[in-house]
Structure 1
Amino acid sequence: MASTSRTRTGRGRGRGRGSGSSSLPPPPSTLPLIIEEFFIVVYEDPLVKKELPKKFADYLDGQEPAKVYLRAADCGPRLWTVEVLFDGQGRMYLDKGWEKFAIAHGVDFGCYVHFKYEGDDVLTVKVFDETMCRR
């Protein structure tokens, strides 16, 4: 029985709170909001403007770029310039330039498009078909 209690005292993050331990992470409400990666699913015309997740738009709050630069993963250094629209209600859309990028990279109905924010208004993009295989 004594060995069981020894095992329990050394386990879990909650142990040692009363001793002033600083190894615990801060509560989730105090962690910074960092949205680096997200998916959109193409349910409608793949060539019209695309809405990005509200959490990502919120992350950019106050910066609201007029354009972003899309880089297709594993396709070299080429950047595609895409204009961005904000609707005043916290929603963000990829607009002019998206159509050319979508055609060049095979974005179609049922595709999953993965975005990774690299900073400096650059998003790396991977396109997956409806079977979740990379295009």
Structure 2
Amino acid sequence: MASTSRTRTRRGRGRGRGRGSGSSSLPPPPSTPPLIIEEFFIVVYEDPLVKKALPKKFADYLDGQEPAKVYLRAADCGPHLWTVEVLFDGQGRMYLDKGWENLAIVHGVDFGCYVHFKYEGDDVLTVKVFDGTMCRKYYYSDDEDTDDESDDDVKPCIHPL
């Protein structure tokens, strides 16, 4: 029995020393990584053709570099970029405004759609549209790949499959 009480006493003293001394065997907490927002989505709950609010975290990411417009590229639809004006409300919110409605109409953005954005840098966002069943909408271009067509003749992907 004597050995049992000595063990308990030793354990108790060992725990007390570590707590009160301020020294810890735990590593310091990791530093906060930089805020990097590359991908996000919005859900279309209201009129799909009116300005759309982007996540506040994304607006915060662009703080100090707030563009007057962004360029949206529908994923897998070639080089066509949709120019969309951007509004900031002064309270940290960012909205897609004029130009958004054109992309929304052409790519079938409707109530209940999920729109996925990937920030590519240089004010370019790649866009993927998912319908209300969470399945991606795919589009194709009318253009045929021929040698005599230039990039100036590229049409946006406008026809849903």
Sequence identity percentage: 95
Structure 2 residue aligned with 1:78, among 77, 80, 101?
Answer: 80
Unmatched segments (≥5 aa) in structure 1? none
Counterpart Cα distance in 2 of 1:23 and 1:132: 48
Deviations 1:62-116, CA, capped at 9 Å, x for gaps: 0000000000001111000000000000000000000001001100000000000
Shift of 1:11: 28
Show the counterpart of 2:27. 25
Unmatched segments (≥5 aa) in structure 2? 137-161
Shift of 1:3: 27
Structure with larger RCO (C-alpha < 8 A, sep 6+): 1
Deviations 1:13-68, CA, capped at 9 Å, x for gaps: 99999999999999565200000000100000000000000000000000000000
Given that 1:13 and 1:24 are in contact with CA atoms closer than 8 Å, whether structure 2 keeps it comes out as no
Counterpart Cα distance in 1 of 2:76 and 2:8: 48
TM-score after normalising by structure 1: 0.79
RMSD: 6.4
Show the counterpart of 2:8. 8
Runs of 4+ in structure 1 deviating by more than 3 angstroms, as ranges, are: 1-29
> Cα 1:49–1:30, aligned 2, differ >3 Å: closer, same or farther?
same
Q: Residue 28 of structure 1: SS of its match in structure 2?
A: coil
Counterpart Cα distance in 2 of 1:7 and 1:36: 55
TM-score after normalising by structure 2: 0.67
Show the counterpart of 2:134. 132
Matches within 5 A, 1:36-115: 36-115=38-117
